[in-house]
A = this chain, B = another copy of it.
Amino acid sequence: MCTLSEERCEACQTGAPKVSDQEMAILVRSVPEWNFETRDNILQLERSYSFPNFVDALTFTRKIGELAEQEGHHPAILTEWGKSTVTWWSHKIGGLHRNDFIMAAKTDQIFNQ
Contacts and interface: CB of A to CB of B under 8 A. Distances in A.
Nearest to A83: B76
A78 B81 contact: no
Using C-beta atoms within 8 Å of the partner chain, give the interface range for chain A.
Answer: 10 to 19
A74 interface: yes
A79 interface: yes
B77 A81 contact: no
Contacts of A61: 58, 61, 79
B74 A76 contact: no
Contacts of A76: 78-80
Interface of A: 54-55, 58, 61-62, 65, 68-69, 74, 76-81, 91
